[in-house]
Structure 1
Amino acid sequence: MSAPNRLHLNLFILIYLNEIVPLSAELKSFLTNKIKRTVYAKNEIISKEGEICNKLYVIKKGLVRGYCVSDNVDVTTWISFDSEIFTSITGFFKNEPASENIQCLEVTHCEYLEFRDYQYCLKNFPEMREINRIMLVEYYIHAEKRAFMTRIPSAQKRLAYFFKNANPKMTKRIPKKYLASFLAMRPETLSRLFNE
């Protein structure tokens, strides 16, 4: 087996994407040459508001959050963990300055594809266009659930909705202050609800 073929067997993104839609040999070969790996430290900022985030990440192992700062208050807007994709939506897909920050909450092992390579894949590989369509649908489903959750007036019911819709493995790993922020409640309220 040649080195590139051995390499593609070890690329998490290829396994991840191939489970969504089977990848052609040509796309696998292209991605094998373009995908990069990185490891971020706990609390490291991956992307800052105002910067262009030109990478689409898949988390092999780790936990990250998106957040913004409003009136000096840090507001967690999303949380992703193992085997999930993340990026700055405006920063990556529109290639514009990001409207949020992205921070690691654990040591995070990622693989990523840069914007220009992602665009090349969309133009040249039909299966990547299908993957893109499926990922957009999934993103909108998650966004709809987050939007619905933030409109639940009761903190207790928001927490119950979150637990019903979130992966239990992820919920145990999220620091409580970020979970409280994500659920639009004070940390004291979250602590009280956990103790009830």
Structure 2
Amino acid sequence: MLSSENTEKNLFIVDFLNSIHPISPNLKEFLIKNIKSCSFDKNEIISKAGEVCNKLYLIKKGMVRGYFESESSEITTWVDSENEVFTSITGFFRNEVSQEYIQSLENTSCDYLEYKDYKHCLDHFPEMIQINRILLEDYYILAEHRVYLARIPNASKRLDYFITNSKPEIVDRIPKKYLASFLAMRPETLSRLMRERD
């Protein structure tokens, strides 16, 4: 991970949070001082299973995935791209070791806030409580989509559901082996279904 320090990068996440709920000048000032930026090379491991992830990331450019290892396989559980927030839920909110890995799928640049600063925002800026609530609602909606997707017994219908409920450009950007894993199908099945859609 490459880190950088400058004021300009902090405005990205400030604008993002302000679009969710108006933020006060005091919160804006605190965020500008405490948000950091970083970048990850393609396929770089951002967080490992067995580690505590204490950072909440916002993707400015790029794509990341979460996965866990089962025997000799990697099972992709989620994929996020621009203007989406990611972290290890158990690591960030409970200070517990994660069971999943987080990996960049492209060269990826992010802003991030460490947990102690995130907690300071919740404790001292009322608008951050509203932002937190909205972010959690969005997270649970995405989690509900993933649960529903996992319960669809037909591979073709899983793919249709994913495409219908995703950003249009994301399907072509996700490496097919990871998309197949996320959709619980073999890569050759995904290739066949994609050809049938053309």
TM class, shorter-length? over 0.9
Could you give the per-residue CA deviations for residues 107-154 of structure 1, whole angstroms, max 9, x where no partner exists? 001000001000110111111110000011110000000000010000
Q: Report the residue type matching 1:160 in the other structure.
A: D
**Superposed CA RMSD:** 1.2
Contact kept in structure 2, 1:8 and 1:14, CA below 8 Å: no
The residue number in structure 1 matching 2:3 is none
Identical aligned residues as a percent: 60
The residue number in structure 1 matching 2:33 is 33
The residue number in structure 2 matching 1:122 is 122
User: What aligned pairs does 1:65-80 form with structure 2 within 5 A after superposition?
Assistant: 65-80=65-80
Once residues 9 and 136 of structure 2 are traced to their aligned partners in structure 1, the CA distance between those partners, rounded to angstroms, is 26
The residue number in structure 2 matching 1:7 is 7
Matched, 1:133 2:133: yes
Structure 1: tracts of 5 or more residues without a match: 1-5
In the TM superposition, what is the alpha-carbon distance from 1:7 to its structure 2 partner? 2.8
Matched, 1:24 2:35: no
Once residues 50 and 130 of structure 1 are traced to their aligned partners in structure 2, the CA distance between those partners, rounded to angstroms, is 31
Number of residue pairs matched by the alignment? 191
In the TM superposition, what is the alpha-carbon distance from 1:68 to its structure 2 partner? 0.3
In the TM superposition, what is the alpha-carbon distance from 1:195 to its structure 2 partner? 1.3
Matched, 1:186 2:194: no
- TM-score, with length taken from structure 1: 0.95
3-state SS, counterpart of residue 169 of structure 2? helix
Contact kept in structure 2, 1:91 and 1:99, CA below 8 Å: no
In the TM superposition, what is the alpha-carbon distance from 1:9 to its structure 2 partner? 7.9
Contact kept in structure 2, 1:67 and 1:102, CA below 8 Å: yes
Could you give the per-residue CA deviations for residues 137-173 of structure 1, whole angstroms, max 9, x where no partner exists? 1100000000000100000000000000000111111
3-state SS, counterpart of residue 43 of structure 2? coil
3-state SS, counterpart of residue 92 of structure 1? helix
Structure 1 9/81 Cα, relative in aligned 2: closer, same or farther at 3 Å? Answer: closer
Q: Report the residue type matching 1:162 in the other structure.
A: F
Contact kept in structure 2, 1:60 and 1:110, CA below 8 Å: yes
Structure 2: tracts of 5 or more residues without a match: 1-5
- TM-score, with length taken from structure 2: 0.94
In the TM superposition, what is the alpha-carbon distance from 1:72 to its structure 2 partner? 1.8
The residue number in structure 2 matching 1:92 is 92
In the TM superposition, what is the alpha-carbon distance from 1:10 to its structure 2 partner? 5.4
3-state SS, counterpart of residue 74 of structure 1? strand
Could you give the per-residue CA deviations for residues 19-51 of structure 1, whole angstroms, max 9, x where no partner exists? 000110000000111000011000000000010
The residue number in structure 2 matching 1:82 is 82
Once residues 62 and 118 of structure 1 are traced to their aligned partners in structure 2, the CA distance between those partners, rounded to angstroms, is 23
Structure 1 44/135 Cα, relative in aligned 2: closer, same or farther at 3 Å? Answer: same
Once residues 60 and 11 of structure 2 are traced to their aligned partners in structure 1, the CA distance between those partners, rounded to angstroms, is 10
Could you give the per-residue CA deviations for residues 81-125 of structure 1, whole angstroms, max 9, x where no partner exists? 011000011111111111100000000010000010001101111
